[in-house]
Amino acid sequence: MDLAELYENFRDKWGFADGEETPENVEEVKDTLVNLINEKILQESSIYAEGQSVFSLHNADFIVYKDASSGEEVYQKDEPVIGEYSIPQLLQDKELGMEVDFLIQYSISV
């Protein structure tokens, strides 16, 4: 699973095979990815990423975006665009990807 695919699982109600293939330490993986997005991609943005866990019949672990001033959830059905690129595209950056791989390489296995 590459970094963009991992991210997309956190953005989709049906992610991680409808919750059946959630990584064992999903909280650590989610927190690491949220921190990376906030610190490396959204550092000068008017939004921030936040990890959420919800009780659900499907995937229960999400990354959502909130407006920095109001705290309201934004980008529920689409992806934030930073400059010309979406978050999944920015996560394909080789340098950024290597950093995440190092931080969570053991956490992605199911």
Say how far apart CA 90 and CA 41 lie, in whole Å: 8
Q: What are the residues whose beta carbons fall under 8 Å from the beta carbon of 2, sequence distance 6 or more?
A: 97
Q: What are the residues whose beta carbons fall under 8 Å from the beta carbon of 85, sequence distance 6 or more?
A: none
The region of weakest confidence among 13-17, 23-27, 88-92, 100-104 is: 100-104
Query: What are the structural domain ranges in the chain?
Result: 3-104
| CA-to-CA dists, residue 90 to 19, 49, 110, angstroms | 25, 14, 25
pLDDT score, position 92: 78
> At residue 109, does pLDDT exceed 50?
no
pLDDT in tens, 21-72: 988 888 988 998 898 899 888 988 999 999 999 887 788 999 999 999 999 9
Q: What are the residues whose beta carbons fall under 8 Å from the beta carbon of 79, sequence distance 6 or more?
A: 11, 86, 87, 88
Reported as a pLDDT band with limits 50, 70 and 90, residue 107 is low
